[in-house]
Structure formats: C-alpha cells, structure tokens
Structure 1
C-alpha cells in the first residue's frame, strides 16, 4: 500500500477514530499479527485497554479497515504528560 494512501486514510478518518470511547492515539505504522510486525503499512489505533467487541457499543468498535487500509489496535493505557523541573 503506498504511503500516501495510508496518510490520506488516516487524515480522512482521524476525527471519527478519536470519537470512539477508549481511543487515546492514532498513528501510521506497520501491522502486527500475533506479536510479529509485518511489512504492511496501516493505521495504528492506540486504546486505553483492549476489550472484546461484545463489550463495546457498536459505534465504539474500530473498523478492521478504512477502505483498503487496515487498522491495528494497540493497548497502551492512558497517556500522561510529564512535568519537567527545567526549561527545555
């Protein structure tokens, strides 16, 4: 899949992805299958906690793909900004 197509799909769907409960981030990366990274570029959706689809409301389920661009759901927990003692 050309990188431009993946970037365009991410840009076109980012707001809809973030509107789902549990989503904490969106990026472009390589799809991982059973813990192994593949060469397939995809939209990576970071979630606070992975949950079975049956536990989610229908509109909170992240699609397996946007058009031909597949998604990869990665559990990260909640992101927190770090405070620094010094000016950077």
Structure 2
C-alpha cells in the first residue's frame, strides 16, 4: 500500500472503514473522520498480518489494497468491540 500515496490511503481507507463499520454495525457511533482512521489503521494492520504470512503487499494493486484495508478494519473493529464490552 506504500505506492498509493496519501490521497490513495485516505480514499481507500475511508471507503474500507465505512464498509467495515457497516459490517460490524458501528457506523452510528463513527463519523467520516473515524471511518477514514479505522480504514487506514486497518490497512496497516491487514498489511502487517499479510506480510507475516509471506504475502507481497507492496506490489499489490488498488483492489488488493482495498480488501486488505477492509479485512484489517473489520479485525480492528472486532477487537475494539471485545475490549469495550468488558
């Protein structure tokens, strides 16, 4: 995801964060800024997890980066929900 640049991170992160918040039913609690942050952090988390398993995330395209952000954002929101429940 490093090759996308800041605008790409914000665009993909925002869309992925918004979709992840819909999937995890946290959209009512978040605004657009938090969706973008969740998507970007989710992308970093997803990229890290994929690189641990040997997947080359640096040469991936837009779609792969989007699904990486989406998966990472869903995992992030799941972990946040676990912590907040307790």
Q: TM-score, normalised by structure 2?
A: 0.37
Q: Which has the higher contact order (CA 8 A, sep 6+)?
A: 2
Q: TM-score of the superposition, structure 1-length normalised?
A: 0.36
| Larger Rg belongs to | 1
Higher strand fraction (1 or 2) = 1
